[in-house]
Structure 1
Amino acid sequence: MANEILRMQKISLKEAIEEIENFKGWLYLSPPPWSVESEGFFYSTDVDLLPVDEKKIRDEFEAQGWKSTVSKEDIEDIIENTKNQIEDPSIDQLFEAFNFFYENDAYIEW
Structure 2
Amino acid sequence: MSEPRFETLGAVLKDIQNRNWLHSLYGATRPPWTADTLCVVLERDTYSEEVPEFARRHSLRDVLSVHQAQGIVENARRQLAEPGVDELVQAFNYYFKKDAFIRFTER
Report if TM-score (shorter chain) is over 0.5: yes
Q: Distance in 2 between matches of 1:98 and 1:75?
A: 7
1:11 and 1:41 in contact (8 A); partners too: yes
TM-score, scaled to structure 2: 0.76
The aligned counterpart of 1:68 is: 62
Question: What's the CA shift for 1:35?
Answer: 1.1
More helix per residue: 1 or 2? 1
1:35 is aligned to 34
- Per the TM alignment, residue 37 of structure 1 is displaced from its structure 2 partner at its CA by 0.7
CA contact (8 A) 2:25 2:42 kept: yes
Deviation at 1:103, TM superposition (A): 1.0
In the alignment of these two chains, the number of paired residues is 100
Off by >2 Å, runs of 4+ in structure 1: 21-24, 57-65
Q: Do residues 8 (structure 1) and 23 (structure 2) align? A: no
2:14 paired residue number: 18
Determine if contact 1:31/1:65 at 8 Å carries over to the other structure.
no
Change (3 A) 1:46 1:69: closer
* Structure 1 range deviating more: 35-44 or 57-66: 57-66
Runs of 5+ unmatched residues, structure 1: 1-6
8 Å CA contact 2:25–2:40 kept in 1: the answer is yes
Percent identical among aligned pairs is 23
Name which of 80, 88, 99 aligns with 1:86.
80
SS of match in other structure, 1:36: coil
Rounded to whole Å, the distance in 2 between the matches of 1:60 and 1:86 is 35
Alignment gaps of 5+ in structure 2: none
TM-score (norm 1): 0.74
Q: CA deviation at 1:12?
A: 0.8
The superposition leaves residues 76-98 of structure 1 with CA deviations (integer Å, 9 ceiling, x where unpaired) of 11111111111111111111000
CA distance in 2 between counterparts of 1:13 and 1:94 reads 9
Q: Per-residue CA shift, 1:58-84, capped at 9, x if unaligned?
A: 598368542311111111111111111
Whether the 8 Å CA contact 1:30–1:38 is kept in 2: the answer is no
Equivalent position SS for 2:34:
coil
